[in-house]
């Protein structure tokens, strides 16, 4: 059985490699194009994005009197719950062992251009959302394709194509099987807990929350996500301080081998620039999901002040996920050196490698932090991706598909928790690619809408305070 799974993993990896040889340039081109069309929104308005995010953080639980299923911060937390997952712990480590240190540079590039991509996705998600018969929000790429693209024949093909690929990715790739796999892996490697036990516990806890739909998912996410990120960064900061002397060397490795091949262990392990670039982008998209089309499904449900406000939250989302959390993981793994030993490269991958790196400096506290982080990151990702898949399935099959989809989702999560790590990651790569392509086509087609909406907003209001002041005055006038 192991031989069959290994052969399957190799075939899926080859398929993913061929697809991504083309798609990574499309992804990069979309990010650069949207960066230009939005006038470098990720640099000019990153501060505004964090301002909106922290305003939501300090007003958790407050209901907003605007259209939408959840508060703007709950929508952001749901999107962050999906993006800040085991890709940040295991995916970054996997990028190092399969692409070398140069992969981290390309992961950063994916993050920086991805901020503009996520801005466009979140903005369009709010602009073109609809309502189901029960009054709940229906949104995401399938709806901004359907309602935003002028060529309706083209839209009638592209929108269902995204929904089908999104449903596939949800069930078999990033959001479900890979998360459960990494969660069971770290508990097994660090504490000897049988994978079957972890699988039962994980799937049971997921089932409890997803029954409540987006409102319960958003309520859980807004409480867990900030705590899990702060805990991970605090303990990770201690590990980095312990290895502060080698950080300059680590940074040199990353930048140098983004453009030159890397050979480790006397040449026994080698990484080409092409491999580093591929793995950086593949893992980058896996973790920040910019261009994938998943996050705008969550952002569309927000009680947003405006599409631009939610778009700016998308900018902050990618920055937190990729530029902050992923960088911590990369520097920690590189600074300990465990990633380049034969044992690390061949046997300890994903969350287990990161846990070993944390434990090398922080002992049992490090192991517990990564195990807990893997569980919380993975758990919130599982419940958020359930919602993404549910929206895609409803678009294809109608409103009544929810119960059947729920059973299938939980069942496949259980299977994913028990099979090989390589196979799960590679399936996720293929699923991500097929999901991203129709969304990227839509983003190119609607880039003019994004640019025009952004330009009109800043011309009219100048600043976020200007928006609040004008709308506050309008509210007072209407009360009179």
> Is 72 part of a structural domain of the chain?
yes
> Is 22 part of a structural domain of the chain?
yes
> Is 148 part of a structural domain of the chain?
yes
Instruction: Specify the pTM.
Output: 0.87
Q: What confidence score (pLDDT) does residue 154 get?
A: 95
Q: Let me know the angle formed at the C-alpha of 144 by 143 and 149, rounded to the nearest 5 degrees.
A: 120
Q: What confidence score (pLDDT) does residue 343 get?
A: 47
457-466: Cβ within 8 A, 24+ apart = 457/306, 457/308, 464/48, 464/51, 464/52, 464/309
Q: What confidence score (pLDDT) does residue 474 get?
A: 53
Half-sphere CA count of 171, side-chain side, radius 13 A? 18
> Is 479 part of a structural domain of the chain?
no
Q: What is the DSSP letter of 246?
A: G
Q: pLDDT in tens for each of the 480 residues of the chain?
A: 566 667 777 777 788 778 877 887 888 899 999 999 999 999 999 999 999 998 888 775 555 667 878 888 888 888 887 777 667 787 788 888 888 889 999 999 989 999 999 999 999 999 999 988 878 899 999 999 999 999 999 999 999 999 999 998 888 776 788 778 877 877 887 778 888 998 899 889 888 888 777 788 888 888 888 888 888 899 989 989 988 999 999 999 899 888 888 765 444 455 778 888 888 887 777 678 888 899 999 999 999 999 999 999 999 999 998 999 999 999 998 998 887 764 444 444 667 788 888 888 888 888 888 878 778 877 888 888 899 999 999 999 987 788 899 899 999 889 888 876 667 667 777 887 888 899 999 999 999 999 999 999 999 999 999 998 888 765 444 433
Q: What confidence score (pLDDT) does residue 331 get?
A: 92
Q: What confidence score (pLDDT) does residue 350 get?
A: 67
Q: What confidence score (pLDDT) does residue 49 get?
A: 95
Distance separating alpha carbons of residues 341 and 89, to the nearest angstrom? 19
CATH number at residue 438: 1.20.1740.10
Exposed e or buried b per residue across 320-343, where buried means at least 16 C-beta atoms within 10 angstroms of its C-beta: bbbbebbbbbbbbbbbbebbbeee
As given in the structure block, the two tokens for residue 168 are: 């596939």
Distance separating alpha carbons of residues 132 and 149, to the nearest angstrom? 21
Q: What confidence score (pLDDT) does residue 401 get?
A: 84
> Is 1 part of a structural domain of the chain?
no
Q: What confidence score (pLDDT) does residue 381 get?
A: 83
Q: What confidence score (pLDDT) does residue 270 get?
A: 56
Q: What confidence score (pLDDT) does residue 356 get?
A: 83
Q: What confidence score (pLDDT) does residue 376 get?
A: 82
Q: Name, in order, each residue with C-beta under 8 angstroms of 248's C-beta and a sequence gap of 6 or more.
A: none
> Is 150 part of a structural domain of the chain?
yes
> Is 468 part of a structural domain of the chain?
no
> What is the residue range of 58's domain?
7-455
> Is 107 part of a structural domain of the chain?
yes
Q: Cα–chain-centroid distance for residue 194?
A: 28
Count of domains forming the chain: 1
- Report the 10 Å Cβ neighbour count for 134: 6
Q: What confidence score (pLDDT) does residue 346 get?
A: 46
């Amino acid at each position: 059985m192991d031989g069959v799974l290994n052969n399957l993993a190799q075939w899926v990896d080859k398929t993913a490699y061929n697809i991504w040889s083309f798609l990574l340039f499309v992804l990069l081109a979309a990010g650069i194009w949207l960066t230009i069309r939005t006038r470098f929104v990720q640099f000019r308005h990153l501060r505004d994005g964090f301002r909106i995010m922290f305003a939501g953080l300090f007003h958790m639980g407050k209901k907003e009197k605007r259209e939408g299923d959840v508060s703007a911060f709950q929508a952001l937390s749901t999107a962050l719950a999906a993006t800040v997952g085991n890709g940040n712990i295991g995916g970054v480590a996997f990028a190092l062992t399969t692409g070398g240190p140069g992969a981290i540079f390309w992961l950063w590039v994916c993050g920086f251009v991805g901020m503009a991509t996520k801005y466009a996705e979140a903005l369009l998600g709010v602009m073109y959302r609809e309502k189901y018969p029960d009054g709940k929000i229906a949104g995401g790429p399938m709806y901004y394709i359907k309602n935003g693209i002028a060529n309706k024949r083209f839209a009638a093909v592209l929108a269902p194509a995204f929904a089908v690929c999104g449903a596939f990715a949800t069930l078999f790739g990033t959001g479900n099987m890979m998360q459960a796999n990494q969660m069971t892996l770290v508990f097994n490697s660090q504490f000897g807990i049988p994978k079957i036990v972890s699988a039962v516990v994980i799937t049971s806890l997921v089932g409890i929350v997803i029954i409540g739909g987006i409102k319960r998912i958003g309520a859980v996410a807004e409480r867990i996500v900030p705590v899990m990120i702060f805990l991970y960064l605090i303990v990770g900061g201690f590990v980095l301080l312990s290895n502060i002397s080698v950080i300059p060397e680590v940074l040199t490795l990353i930048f140098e081998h983004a453009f030159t091949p890397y050979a480790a262990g006397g040449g026994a392990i080698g990484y080409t620039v092409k491999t580093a670039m591929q793995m950086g982008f593949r893992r980058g998209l896996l973790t920040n999901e910019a261009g994938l089309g998943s996050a705008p499904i969550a952002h569309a449900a927000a009680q947003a002040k405006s599409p631009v406000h939610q778009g700016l939250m998308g900018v902050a989302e990618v920055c937190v996920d990729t530029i902050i959390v992923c960088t911590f993981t990369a520097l920690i793994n590189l600074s300990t050196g465990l990633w380049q030993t034969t044992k690390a490269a061949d046997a300890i991958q994903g969350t287990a490698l990161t846990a070993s790196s944390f434990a090398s400096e922080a002992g049992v506290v490090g192991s517990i932090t990564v195990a807990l982080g893997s569980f919380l990151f993975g758990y919130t990702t599982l419940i958020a991706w359930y919602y993404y898949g549910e929206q895609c399935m409803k678009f294809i099959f109608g409103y009544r598909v929810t119960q059947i989809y729920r059973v299938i989702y939980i069942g496949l999560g259980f299977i994913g928790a028990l099979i090989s790590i390589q196979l799960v990651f590679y399936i996720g790569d293929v699923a991500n690619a097929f999901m991203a392509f129709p969304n990227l086509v839509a983003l190119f087609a609607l880039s003019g809408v994004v640019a025009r909406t952004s330009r009109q907003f800043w011309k009219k209001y100048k600043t976020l305070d200007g928006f609040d002041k004008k709308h506050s005055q309008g509210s007072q006038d209407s009360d009179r």
